[in-house]
A and B are shown apart, each in its own frame.
Chain A
Amino acid sequence: MKYMNLLILFLIAVGGGILNAFSWVNLPPVGPREMNLSLLILQLSGNRNDIVLLGTMDELLNFSIRMIPGYLACIVIGIELYRHFCTAGVYVFSRYTKRLRWYLSELSDMFLSSLAFQVLTVAAVLIVSMIRFHVVFDGAGCLLMVYHILIYTLWLYSMSLLLSTIASYSGSEAAYIFIIGLQTFMIALLSLNNADWGEPFLMINPASRLVLGWYDSTVRLLPYQIRGNSYQWLSFAGSVVLLLAGALMISFITSYLIRHRDILGSNAEIGV
């Protein structure tokens, strides 16, 4: 079953990457048929060519659509852990003498799956783009690609872990609705980019970290100009540290919960 889930994850990554490459990675309307890797990566995280995410409803909807493969991956990765609590939970957990050790190995699998998913997605986008036009591998692009993969991996890992934990307590449907609702809500709040008073709210919204075009570090890194807001408080290292701290905190809390979880229900879905 694990291999089946890995295959599904692979298909979502490649399929989602191809779809995103055709839908959101676009050459400028005029000029040569080539694109810097840096601009390609920025388009994956909300840019419309050289214009960074403005935060209009139309743009946020497009941004959410870009995230759909990630939502699906979140469900597949989250299920991998959660399903142990369902159907045969009693028979599974009666075989794990050290539940915490099992959980930590599941967490490392979950992180690796999240990382592999993001690497595959970006690779698929890159390959399709290279077929469509000439991609110029600039230094800034390589660095942006690494940060994109890291930031989106930590995001996917945290969301998958939250999903599996909520699902093991409240059933999968409630967990899907909560996690997808939470992400949609946070993305909708990115519209505060347009409000004069919105910056403090963007600072506390983790989804702001997903928009690489908003990073002051990006603006300083690029050899050309992009248009739109940028924020000094957004730095690559800062975001990685912050998202890593969030992921560790979620891991720590869920480890405690799972360790003390009673395997009472024979089926968490129906609560028997």
Chain B
Amino acid sequence: MQLKVNNISKTIRRKKILDSVSMDLYGGKVYVICGPNGCGKTMLFRALSGLMSLDSGTVELDGKILRKDFSVLPSLGIVLENVNLYANLTGFQNLQYLAELKGLIGESEIRNALRRVGLDPEDRRTYKKYSLGMKQRLAIAQAIMESPDIIMLDEPTNALDREGAARIRELIMEEKNRGTLVLIATHNDEDVRILADGIFEMESGQITDYKAGSAGIAGFLSEDRIPNSQSLRG
């Protein structure tokens, strides 16, 4: 599986939030996007998923063009910062509602996803009573429950304690080994060190650098796609 990002740009309210971003991403790899707050990491996830239109450029999944051949990536699990789930439903009910939209999985898969992130499927507390860490775990559970081909996680270990962060990292590695393309935006050095096959540095909507991560050597960096052209391929 290959996700090919070709010179995508997006301007919102006269501010260029993505500026000629290019990347090549492959299944079975974990790519980490690093950069200061507001550099465009979340917007990049929205653009890559199809949740946001582009001013120029294309995103291709195995040759099929996003927002032309499909509205969003067909097999995607995504977690974005500050996106809540339904306040008056329990964790299980939240996942059950979302799972019904696609109808791919049943209760056993939902329970399994909850257990994998360290939540109790039988917990009767509603989402509004969840701690920040529990909310984060639930968001990750909704992203992985349907075993998608692509997973995008915005700050996945944020708000988690050490044990929780370790569990999520382990889960990410399991997903990678299943052949999933995992894309993570993070500030956490440990995430980068343990998980990254490839690291993209981002600043002011541009990819400014790419390097292979310690978890593996990923992709390639071609001469015609150097930082000056705001386009790097991993």
A contact set with B: CB distance below 8 Å: 1, 87-100, 259-260, 262-264, 266-267, 272
Contact = CB atoms under 8 A, between A and B. Distances in A.
Contacts of A94: 49, 51, 72-73, 76-78
A212 to B, nearest CB: 41
A91 B53 contact: no
A97 B71 contact: yes
A262 B89 CA distance: 26
A148 B34 CA distance: 61
B49 A1 contact: no
Interface residues of B, number: 29
B68 to A, nearest CB: 12
Contact of A90 (B80, B86, B94, B97): B80
Contacts of B87: 87
B74 A90 contact: no
Contact of B52 (A92, A96, A264): A264
Contacts of B71: 93, 96-100, 259
A91 B51 contact: no
B82 interface: yes
B78 A91 contact: yes
Contact of B97 (A1, A89, A98, A99): A1
Given A87-B85, A96-B72, 16 more contacts: A1-B97, A87-B84, A87-B87, A88-B94, A90-B78, A91-B83, A91-B142, A94-B72, A94-B77, A95-B101, A97-B72, A97-B74, A99-B71, A259-B71, A264-B46, A267-B82
16 contacts: A87-B85, A88-B83, A88-B86, A91-B83, A94-B49, A94-B72, A94-B76, A95-B101, A96-B72, A97-B74, A98-B70, A98-B71, A262-B46, A262-B52, A263-B51, A264-B51
A259 B87 CA distance: 27
B102 interface: yes
Nearest to B83: A266
Contacts, number: 75
Interface string B42-76: 00001001011100000000000000001111101
A259 B72 CA distance: 11
B83 A262 contact: no
B98 interface: yes
- The 10 tightest CB contacts between A and B, nearest first, are A99-B71, A263-B51, A266-B83, A95-B101, A262-B52, A97-B70, A90-B83, A97-B74, A266-B82, A94-B78
A90 B85 contact: no
A95 B77 CA distance: 8
A95 B98 contact: yes
A94 B73 CA distance: 7
A88 B85 contact: yes
Nearest to A264: B52
A93 B101 CA distance: 9
Interface string B126-153: 0000000000000100100000000000
A96 B72 CA distance: 7
B93 to A, nearest CB: 9
A266 B52 CA distance: 12
Nearest to A89: B83
Nearest to A272: B82
